[in-house]
Amino acid sequence: MQILNGQEVSLQIKNELKEKVNRLIDQGKRAPHLSAILVGSDGGSQTYVHSKVKTTKEIGFTSTLIHLEENTTEAKLIDQIERFNTDPQIDGILVQLPLPKHISGENVILSINPFKDVDGFHPVSVGKMVQGLPTFLPATPHGIMLLLQHYKINTNGMDAIVIGRSNIVGRPMSILLSSNANPGNCTVTICHSHTKNLPDICRQADLIVAARGKPGFLKGDMVKEGAIVIDVGITRVNDPSSKKGYILKGDVDFGSVAPKCSFITPVPGGVGPMTIAALMMNTFRACVENSSY
């Protein structure tokens, strides 16, 4: 069993980006700029946005973080996005999801300039991804593909299952795993809340991507010997003995699953850091492809 070390691989990607930023600066150009918007006070979202912004600083990007109140109107949020859309100093726009219930996530995503859509959530980006055209890929599935690529894992012909059908992870993951590429070329099954007999489907899979948000649900007896297991879960679970009062738990019961795997991602230190690295790659790309300098 080998651990897929997202912490280590993401560090390598970030160091490469840092060097590329230095080269831009040496050429008299400006650093890439990411603008992030956070609405409301969800603890998880705050943590994620802050670590994205912190990473921009570490690698020499510049960034803006706008924090809007929970009761902000959709119109006000879209106004802010439109200001970012037309600002030539801003390369990438990120609106942290989920949004409060009174705001339509669809309208908000549609209002983002696709050339600045570094999350890859705009229908233009999604359409290009589905057709295999160059575009911004959603950060979590993209990060997972980069991790498989880094470890030179040959996924050709594998039976893969993706548990979860969100627009952020499950759906784009299924597209990338089934695409004509390596990693890719998998036969993909998407499982969700209406799937019958999930354990049986899991037991047949060569590759499992667990993105259900249910801590520890994937147990050793649901995994075939030699399978590759990618854990996207990061649920906060109360733990009075820890400093923060909670710990992050993946969807995978690591203790029983890991001994059966050929490769497995840990939580933390697996998919999470790769998501941030992939977002930074998208922002760098937005900068060099669109910038008006």
Q: Which position among 5, 35, 80, 96 is part of the footprint of ligand GUN (CB under 6 A)?
A: 96
Q: How many residues bind ligand GUN (CB under 6 A)?
A: 9
Is residue 34 within the footprint of ligand GUN (CB under 6 A)? no
Token pair belonging to 282? 């998208």
**What letter represents residue 34's amino acid?**
L
Write the burial class of residue 152 (CB in 10 Å: 0-12 exposed, 13-18 middle, 19+ buried).
exposed
CB of 148 to ligand GUN, least distance (A): 18
Tell me whether the omega of the peptide bond preceding residue 268 falls within 30 degrees of 0, making it cis. yes
Contact window for ligand GUN (CB under 6 A) among 20-28, 78-86, 95-103, 262-270? 95-103
SS3 100: coil
- Annotate each residue in 167-206 with x if it binds ligand GUN (CB under 6 A) or - if it does not, as one string: -x--------------------------------------
Name the H helices within the chain: 6-26, 43-58, 74-85, 105-110, 123-130, 139-150, 170-178, 198-203, 254-257, 271-290
Phi-psi bin for 120: left (phi > 0), alpha (psi -120 to 50), beta? Answer: left
Cα 179 to Cα 267: distance, rounded to the nearest angstrom: 27
Tokens 């299924």 belong to residue: 174
**Is residue 93 close enough to count as binding ligand GUN by CB under 6 A?**
no
> Residue 120 and residue 285: Cα distance in Å, rounded?
12
Q: Are 99 and 108 in contact (CB under 8 A)?
A: yes
Residues 254-293 touching ligand GUN, rule: CB under 6 A, are 275
Considering the complex, state which of residue 136 and residue 263 has its C-beta at the smaller distance from ligand GUN: 136
Angle at 202 between CA 238 and CA 270, to 5 degrees: 50
Length of the chain as a residue count: 293
Catalytic residues: 52, 96, 119
Binds ligand GUN (CB under 6 A): choice among 9, 13, 95, 208: 95
String marking each residue 114-153 x if it binds ligand GUN according to CB under 6 A: -----x-------------------xx-------------
Q: For residues 207 and 261, what is the distance between their CA atoms, to the nearest angstrom?
A: 10
Position among 11, 31, 65, 97 found at the interface with ligand GUN (CB under 6 A): 97
Does residue number 38 form part of the binding site for ligand GUN (CB under 6 A)?
no
Among the listed ranges 91-99, 126-134, 238-246, 250-258, the one in contact with ligand GUN (CB under 6 A) is: 91-99
Q: Are strands 33-39 and 159-163 parallel, antiparallel or unpaired?
A: unpaired
Shortest CB 192 distance to ligand GUN, Å: 17
Strand partners, 63: 34
Nearer to ligand GUN, 96 or 155 (CB): 96
By the rule CB under 6 A, 56 interacts with ligand GUN? no
Shortest Å, Cβ 45 to ligand GUN: 7
The piece of 3-11, 88-96, 126-134, 208-216 that touches ligand GUN (CB under 6 A) is: 88-96
Residues that bind ligand GUN in the complex, under the rule CB under 6 A: 94-97, 119, 139-140, 168, 275
